Amino acid sequence: MNLIMLGPPGAGKGTQADILSKHFSIPTISTGNILRAAAKAGSAVGLKAKEFMDQGQLVPDHIIIDVMDERLAQPDCAKGFILDGVPRTIVQAQAMEDQGIHIDAVVSMELDTEIIVARMDGRRVCLGCGTPFHVTSYPPKAEGICDNCGEDLIEREDDKPATVRARMTIYENTTAPLKSFYGARGKVRTVDTDGCTIQEITTKILHILEDLA
């Protein structure tokens, strides 16, 4: 099964992608995680991407398209994949379509902007493996430490309030139009996440994907 998780930053795409990844035994592909790892490793692509990421700007399409080409060619993607945070522009979506990459469904996670801004403030991400946590709604077992790999959790530069607002504007202008792009192809399945727990959202998503499993 090939899925795209679509929604504004902070809507819970990463959390749900990780749960679905375990459920369906297929990898999550997060371009954000790939680029952060590349930046940490000090590669030329990573350092270039970091300049945009730290300001809450989108990384140029050609970089993302190259990163995706390389990642989707890995053998673990053969059974399917969950795309988290990609595509984020029509150009990226069109490039995937032109390459014949099949998409079964686009899970569109809807949530009010004010809830998102408040929520992003509590977000913490593992420095090692990128697993997302939240100080109140999804806390790690030990404060500041990743449940998965034991590395430190940090608040990302791009989760800080001013950057979040810039990211929301970019989402509305550049990424939200993907709903129409994939809607025209009959792929969009909308999940209203307002007031729902993580588990309730997972249940809703599994329900709307039932005919694909």
Provide, rounded to whole angstroms, the least separation between the CB of residue 13 and ligand AMP. Answer: 8
**Residue 71 falls in the annotated catalytic set:** no
52 binds ligand AMP (CB under 6 A): yes
User: Near ligand AMP by CB under 6 A, which window of 86-94, 100-108, 113-121, 205-213?
Assistant: 86-94
**Residue 156 falls in the annotated catalytic set:** yes
> One of 50, 119, 167, 204 is an active-site residue; which one?
167
Q: CA 80: distance to chain centroid?
A: 16
168 binds ligand AMP (CB under 6 A): no
How far, CA to CA in Å, does 50 sit from each of 36, 37, 39? 7, 10, 6
- Which amino acid does the sequence have at 36? R
- Residues 93-152 close enough to bind ligand AMP by CB under 6 A: none
59 binds ligand AMP (CB under 6 A): yes
Give the residues across from 145 on adjacent strands. Answer: 152
> One of 36, 71, 123, 204 is an active-site residue; which one?
123
**By three-state DSSP, how is residue 83 classified?**
strand
| Sole binder of ligand AMP in the list 86, 106, 120, 201 (CB under 6 A) | 86
Cβ contacts of 125 within 8 Å, gap of 6 or more: 131, 132, 133, 153, 154, 155, 156, 159
3-state secondary structure 140-183: CCCCCECCCCCCEEECCHHHCHHHHHHHHHHHHHHHCCHHHHHH
Interface residues with ligand AMP (CB under 6 A)?
Answer: 9, 30-32, 35, 52-53, 56-59, 64, 85-88, 92, 158, 167
Q: Give the active site residues.
A: 13, 88, 123, 156, 167
